[in-house]
Each structure stands twice: as structure tokens, then as C-alpha cells.
């Protein structure tokens, strides 16, 4: 695992954007696995800037997102489809039909999830998977549990995740209780994983993911078995990782 230790959120965002842009330049028809939440917002801002400067193009890029809340329409301002449109897709030249975000309104989640995985297989898996991490170690919405779930699936969100995400909704009761999440299989199938973290509240999750036992109780720990992970984190998020681990 390569670790970039950045000063703060801004530096983390720029470094993450450089790695994503590098993938696009190197492989213009790459498959980007994309994430939502506070962590990647800054990186998307850099990518939009660089697109506007003519430095990168998303013309041939395919994207597939990690997750979506069950019950939220794409037009809901807290849906992850809405997030992707407003933070990235609406500002760059990616073709609408080349973007995939799980359908939070699907009437048949089981078939939907199977088809989502089939799509990921059909495009040869993700070239670069961007990941944030939850305070509880979740990646995508793969919450801590007794086993790793390989397939895309419907997840009951952990109470701690609902608490953490309540900041985006009018009240805690408005936070959806379920999500559709890409499974560990598709994440581990990605050729490269770019894990990003900022802030002290992520320090335990990063420390456990890097140095703790590989266990579904900390889903991020599975990344210890991925051969090509880049971690971009700020000093606060790395503050609990023992010195020897960061070369
Ligand atoms: P955040 O969420 O980027 O909003 O902190 C990350 C996550 O929960 O995976």
C-alpha cells in the first residue's frame, strides 16, 4: 500500500484528484468507481477545474458509483445521484449513459443488484475505485458485520452511519435506513483502489483498516489484501497509525 500523508483536506483533495486525473490521462476509456460524501467533494472540484482548463476529458470514461440510499429519487438533493450530478457530472463532458449510480427506487432490488454486478463484470471491472471510509470502518455502505458481502446488496445502515449522515438531512428521522451498496467483491476486483480520509474522526477507522486484524467488523481492513491500494490521508486521519507503518 502506498500512503500519501497530506497536510490537510485541501492537500488530500488535490493529491486524490491528481491520481484520478492520471488514470484518465493514462487510460481515457477507464472505468472510474466513484464515491460520495464529504471526503471526495474537494477532489471533484479539482477535476472540474482541470476539465475546464482543457487538461482532462471524461468523453470516454465510464463511471460506476458505490452506493445509493433506498427510497431517494435521483432528484432528491441528498440522493447520491444528485450529489454526482451537482459535484461532477453536470460540469464535465461525461456522457449521461456512461454513468451508473444504484437506483434507490428500484422495485426489484435483488434483480437490480445482480444486474449492477453483471454490468461491472461486463466492463472488465473498475480501473480505479475511489473510496472514503466511515468512522466505523465501512467502505461503500458495507457496514461492520459477521461476514464480508461480496455482491451488490441492500444494507441496513448502522446507527452510527445514520448519526454521521444526519448532518445532511433536516432531522435524523429523515435519514434513509437502508442503502444499496456495491459489495466487497467489486471493490476488491478493482485494479486500483484510492482510499481517502480526512479528519481526526477517521483516525481509528484508518488505523484499524491498515494495522488491525482483517475482519468484517472493520470492512476497510479487507484492503490489506488488495495488491494495489493508494491511501491519501491528511495528518489528522493518520494520527493513530504507528510511525513505522508510514514510510
Ligand atoms: P464522508 O463519508 O466522506 O462524508 O466522511 C465517508 C463514508 O462514510 O464512507
Supply the DSSP symbol for 200.
G
What's the total number of domains in the chain? 1
> Which H or E run includes 127?
none
Q: Percent of the chain having pLDDT more than 90? A: 98
Q: CA quadruple 130, 135, 136, 137: dihedral positive or negative?
A: positive
Protein residue closest via CA to atom 8 of ligand 1: 134
CA distance 55 to 173: 43
Protein residue closest via CA to atom 7 of ligand 1: 134
pLDDT tens column, 156-209: 999 999 999 999 999 999 999 999 999 999 999 999 999 999 999 999 999 999
Is residue 42 lining ligand 1, measured as CB closer than 6 Å?
no
Q: How far is the CA of 131 from the centre of ligand 1 (A)?
A: 9
Residue from 191, 188, 189, 221 nearest 204 by CA = 221
Is residue 38 lining ligand 1, measured as CB closer than 6 Å?
yes
Phi, psi of 101 (to 5 degrees): -130, 135
> pLDDT at position 247, please?
65
* 3-state secondary structure at position 121: helix
pLDDT tens column, 18-48: 999 999 999 999 999 999 999 999 999 999 9
Active site residue 136: yes
For residue 172, what are the domain limits?
A: 2-245
Residue from 42, 6, 237 nearest 130 by CA = 42
Active site residue 23: no
Is residue 132 lining ligand 1, measured as CB closer than 6 Å?
yes
Active site residue 143: yes
CATH code where residue 83 lies? 3.40.50.1360
Active site residue 228: no
Is residue 79 lining ligand 1, measured as CB closer than 6 Å?
no
Amino acid at each position: 500500500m502506498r500512503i500519501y500523508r497530506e497536510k490537510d483536506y485541501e492537500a488530500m483533495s488535490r493529491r486524490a484528484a491528481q491520481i484520478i486525473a492520471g488514470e484518465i490521462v493514462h487510460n481515457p476509456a477507464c472505468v472510474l468507481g466513484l464515491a460520495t460524501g464529504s471526503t471526495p467533494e474537494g477532489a471533484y472540484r479539482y477535476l472540474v477545474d482541470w476539465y475546464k482548463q482543457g487538461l482532462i476529458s471524461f468523453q470516454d470514461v465510464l463511471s460506476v458509483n458505490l452506493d445509493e440510499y433506498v427510497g431517494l429519487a435521483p432528484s432528491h438533493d441528498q440522493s447520491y445521484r444528485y450529489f454526482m450530478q451537482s459535484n461532477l457530472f453536470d460540469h464535465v463532458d461525461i456522457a449521461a449513459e456512461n454513468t451508473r449510480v444504484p437506483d434507490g427506487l428500484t422495485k426489484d432490488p435483488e434483480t437490480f443488484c445482480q444486474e449492477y454486478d453483471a454490468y461491472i463484470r461486463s466492463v472488465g471491472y473498475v480501473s480505479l475505485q475511489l473510496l472514503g471510509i466511515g468512522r466505523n470502518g465501512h467502505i461503500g455502505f458495507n457496514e461492520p458485520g459477521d461476514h464480508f458481502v461480496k455482491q451488490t446488496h441492500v444494507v441496513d445502515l448502522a446507527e452510527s452511519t445514520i448519526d454521521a449522515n444526519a448532518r445532511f438531512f433536516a432531522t435524523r428521522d429523515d435519514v434513509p435506513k437502508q442503502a444499496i451498496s456495491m459489495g466487497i467483491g467489486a471493490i476488491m476486483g478493482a485494479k486500483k483502489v484510492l482510499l481517502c480520509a480526512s479528519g481526526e474522526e477517521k483516525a481509528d477507522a484508518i488505523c484499524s483498516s491498515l494495522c488491525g486484524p482483517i475482519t468484517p467488523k472493520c470492512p476497510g481492513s479487507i484492503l490489506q489484501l488488495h495488491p494495489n491500494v493508494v491511501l491519501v490521508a491528511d495528518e489528522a486521519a493518520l494520527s493513530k497509525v504507528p510511525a513505522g507503518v508510514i514510510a
